[in-house]
Amino acid sequence: MNVEIADLTRRFDRTMAVAGVSLETGPGVFGLLGPNGAGKTTLLRAMATVIAPTSGTLRLLDRDPGQYGQRRDIRRRLGYLPQNLGYYPSFTVAEFVEYFALLKDMPAARVPAAVAAAVERVDLGSRAKAKLRTLSGGMLRRVGIAQAIVNSPELLLFDEPTAGLDPEQRVHFRGLLRELGQRATVVVSTHLVEDVGAACAEVALMDTGRIVFHGTPGELIACGEGTTAAGDAPLERGYSAVLAGARS
């Protein structure tokens, strides 16, 4: 298992953002669904080793992120796209991706080729020398994806990766997710259920810091069948039905 989480909690002052989550997942695309404020981003930040859990255990890529040496090892194999992606406006696309390749301790010899490949994979090859300040929001999102995948990570964490992407790019991104999921564990946090249905083999639904559903997209669809849950698509109805059940 690349991700092993047992009874993980994370508290911010009096707010329990994550309340006893347990998860295990291996290679493949894992969808993390949930309404705003469900705790998805906090869980992802804990998995990205940005914040430490308040309690519970977390093992990533068979390593303990609580130990500095192992945490560095995890980070070398980690790709992370935060929900609010910042950027250095004066950097070019290639420089930004190269910067993160270098910070991720990639072997120097591999950096130039890896940067070129990552930028190509997000269709920004023609804008590689463009300053980030000149790019649109969708393009910046793709730059964020490029920096996340530049080190060929074994664990990829995407927080709302398709926000700001146009429909064509979203379709392409789902294809990229499927490709990446063939050899890495890809955790995608989103509240766009169609992304999950198209790309994820496994899905978990969070609400108020807890996982209220864990299964396949098909099983989530089944939860909504025969109910009056709101939603235009089967997956949306399953999503609504699970949430309604959890809250009742």
Place of tokens 């999921």: 181
> 231, 237 in Cβ contact below 8 A?
yes
Q: Which two tokens mark 31?
A: 């969808």
Choose, by CB under 8 A, the member of 3, 48, 200, 206 that binds another protein: 48
Report if residue 90 touches another protein, rule: CB under 8 A: yes
Other CB atoms within a 10 A radius of the CB of residue 70 amount to: 17
Q: How far is CA 148 from CA 101, 114, 145, 156, in A?
A: 9, 12, 5, 7
Report if residue 166 touches another protein, rule: CB under 8 A: no
The 8-class DSSP code of residue 131 comes to B
Residue 234 CB, shortest distance to another protein, in Å, is 24
Report if residue 17 touches another protein, rule: CB under 8 A: no
> 8, 55 in Cβ contact below 8 A?
yes
What is the full DSSP assignment across 6-71? EEEEEEETTEEEEEEEEEEE-SEEEEEE--TTSSHHHHHHHHTTSS--SEEEEEETTB-TTSHHHH
Choose, by CB under 8 A, the member of 10, 40, 59, 142 that binds another protein: 142
Residue 90 CB, shortest distance to another protein, in Å, is 5
Report if residue 126 touches another protein, rule: CB under 8 A: yes
- List the interface residues with another protein, window 54-83 (CB under 8 A): 68-69, 72-73, 75-76, 78, 80, 82
Report if residue 112 touches another protein, rule: CB under 8 A: yes
Pick the stretch among 18-26, 170-178, 213-221, 239-247 that binds another protein (CB under 8 A): 170-178
Report if residue 167 touches another protein, rule: CB under 8 A: no
Residue 201 CB, shortest distance to another protein, in Å, is 16
| Rounded Cα distance, 170 and 165, in Å | 6
Residue 58, judged by CB atoms within 10 A of its CB (0-12, 13-18, 19+), counts as buried
Residue 131 CB, shortest distance to another protein, in Å, is 9
The residue ranges that bind another protein (CB under 8 A) are 45, 48-50, 68-69, 72-73, 75-76, 78, 80, 82, 84-91, 94-95, 98-100, 102-106, 108-113, 115-116, 119-126, 128, 142, 145, 147, 169, 171-176, 178-179
